[in-house]
Structure 1
Amino acid sequence: MTAITHVHRARLYKLASMAFDRPDEEFEEVLLSGTFEQQLLESAAVLENEELEEHATAVAEAAPTDEDVVDELYSEWAGLFGFEEGGDIQLYQIEYSPGTLVTSTDVLADISGFYKAFGLSMEDENRERADHLCIQLEFLSHLALQTAYLENEGDETGVEVVTDAQGSFLEDHLGRWTGRFRETLDEEADVEFYRALATLVDSLVGDDTDRFGVEPKEFEETPPSPLEGLNDGEGDFRCGTCGTTPSGSTPEMPMGNREGPY
């Protein structure tokens, strides 16, 4: 795999994270400008996975581009995922996994351990748990960019370390529940954009599990949440604080941040 492959993997994870987050003015802007659609299709094409390209095309076709429709996106998101409008589709890994409060706390600790191992911090003003979908997608985007940097630097040991981390995180965490999440949206969501986006994420995760040679054991059913009403007090490391800069000069590549897509 080349550095550019990892850059486009990073972009896809980043775009998916942005799209599943609570819509804001910045995301509305990239939808209206066509940037979201353009970069989604471009990156999917670079990965040369026909199924992934098909799902990216479905997301692009379902993405709102008219100002009036884009304005409705917030209420559609809230109706599916937001507490303010009674949305009951969960964006957290723990909600899809069996287990007690103790085992769930261990899972959260393990996820946080991955983040800390790569120098990531959670912003205090944001209160999402470490198992939130957008944060997990953002984390893999960060690791993919690190891989691209290390590939350009010729750091084989560094590439091996970050590659192993991506495989382990997919096998132990994200790869275990994106299938259940996709099925939940297929069954319960009536907004085609989010249904198509969930399918794209599951396909991207599947492409990467093949790439890294791991086999996540998918959660089979959605149990009652062991953490209902509980916030572990951790913030959100998004909004431009996700990660440390590797030593040495950074190659010219679209690193991006929370200001918008790459």
Structure 2
Amino acid sequence: MDIYRMYIYTFLSVAFSYPYEEALKEVEEGLDDLSLSLKALGIDFDVDLLRKALKGAKERLLNLQGEWNALFSTSLKAPANETAYELEKAGRKAAELADIEGFYKAFGLEVKASVEPDSLVAELEFMAYLVKKKVYLKEKGDAEALSIVSKAITSFFRDHLGRWYRIFTDLLKQQTEEEYYKLLGELLRSFLDKEREGVDGIVDVETYRKETLEGVTWKCGF
């Protein structure tokens, strides 16, 4: 089942990136594999609705790009960065960013200079990378390395992605009228709720003080 998990993480990282034509084309081309992966994992989501919404969004590309900016970048209606939801900004943001970058560096990875390491896209890409590495190590039969990667998957989800995706998807649902992003939020929530099963110790972030962030621009993606 890990191969399906890896695919959905990768799909979502592309889907939540800035909606250039190339990215939307990649999303569209991946919908059949998305459907297969969701069925294999027992996740109930109507991919045909997403397909229809994507078609309409592509016809309104400039509007879609404007909505992406308003939601995730300029107006921060639903910021797509983990540390945007830290109430004690000065201390907590630095600590969380250091911990996230520590995970990346432990696996020989780093984000581009223009990228925020705590962005949704970066964290999704990292989870996809870890699950892909897990698949490889299973095939190789390297039990020690497999144990390390498996623990990293659980730890990163518990300490980072798993703690803020719910407040993010709640805000996204409230703040956008764009059906494409509404459905992506539902997909993200359904998938990560499935990933959350069996992961103990997650403390959800529950409050977002938007007034402390006005004027800040967050960037996403590796």
Q: TM-score range by the shorter chain?
A: 0.7 to 0.9
Report the residue type matching 2:39 in the other structure: A
CA contact (8 A) 1:209 1:215 kept: no
CA root-mean-square deviation = 2.6
- Correspondence 1:93 to 2:82: yes
Look up the match of 2:37: 43
- Helix, strand or coil: the match of 2:159? helix
Give the whole-Å Cα distance in 2 for the aligned partners of 1:82 and 1:188. 13
Q: Map of 1:15-164 to 2, 5 A cutoff?
A: 15-31=11-27, 34-47=28-41, 49=42, 52-54=43-45, 56=47, 58-64=49-55, 68-70=59-61, 72-83=63-74, 86=75, 88-124=77-113, 127-164=114-151
Q: How many angstroms does 1:96 deviate by?
A: 1.6
Deviations 1:57-108 (A, max 9, x none): 553443226852456432332232232xx45321111112322411220111
CA contact (8 A) 1:93 1:132 kept: yes
CA contact (8 A) 1:170 1:205 kept: no
Q: How many angstroms does 1:196 deviate by?
A: 1.5
Deviates more, 1:10-19 or 1:37-46: 37-46
Report the residue type matching 1:197 in the other structure: L
Deviations 1:147-169 (A, max 9, x none): 11011111222221111111111
Give the whole-Å Cα distance in 2 for the aligned partners of 1:10 and 1:77. 24
Look up the match of 1:207: 194
CA contact (8 A) 1:94 1:225 kept: no
Say if 1:56 and 1:217 are closer, same or farther in 2 by CA, change over 3 A: farther
- Helix, strand or coil: the match of 1:64? helix
CA contact (8 A) 1:91 1:133 kept: yes
Give the whole-Å Cα distance in 1 for the aligned partners of 2:160 and 2:38. 23
Report the residue type matching 2:97 in the other structure: L
CA contact (8 A) 1:17 1:135 kept: yes
Deviates more, 1:147-156 or 1:62-71: 62-71
Give the whole-Å Cα distance in 2 for the aligned partners of 1:142 and 1:161. 14
Report the residue type matching 2:88 in the other structure: G
* TM-score between the two structures when normalised by the length of structure 2: 0.87
Give the whole-Å Cα distance in 1 for the aligned partners of 2:58 and 2:8. 24
- Helix, strand or coil: the match of 1:131? coil
Percent of paired sites with the same residue: 27
**Structure 2: gaps (5+ residues):** none
Say if 1:72 and 1:237 are closer, same or farther in 2 by CA, change over 3 A: closer
Look up the match of 1:251: none
More helix by share: 2
Give the whole-Å Cα distance in 1 for the aligned partners of 2:8 and 2:103. 20
* TM-score between the two structures when normalised by the length of structure 1: 0.75
- Helix, strand or coil: the match of 1:53? coil
CA contact (8 A) 2:73 2:217 kept: no
Give the whole-Å Cα distance in 2 for the aligned partners of 1:90 and 1:72. 18
Report the residue type matching 1:63 in the other structure: L
Look up the match of 1:173: 160
Look up the match of 1:257: none
CA contact (8 A) 1:17 1:134 kept: yes
- Helix, strand or coil: the match of 1:163? helix
CA contact (8 A) 2:77 2:172 kept: no
Q: Map of 1:188-199 to 2, 5 A cutoff?
A: 188-199=175-186
Give the whole-Å Cα distance in 2 for the aligned partners of 1:146 and 1:139. 10
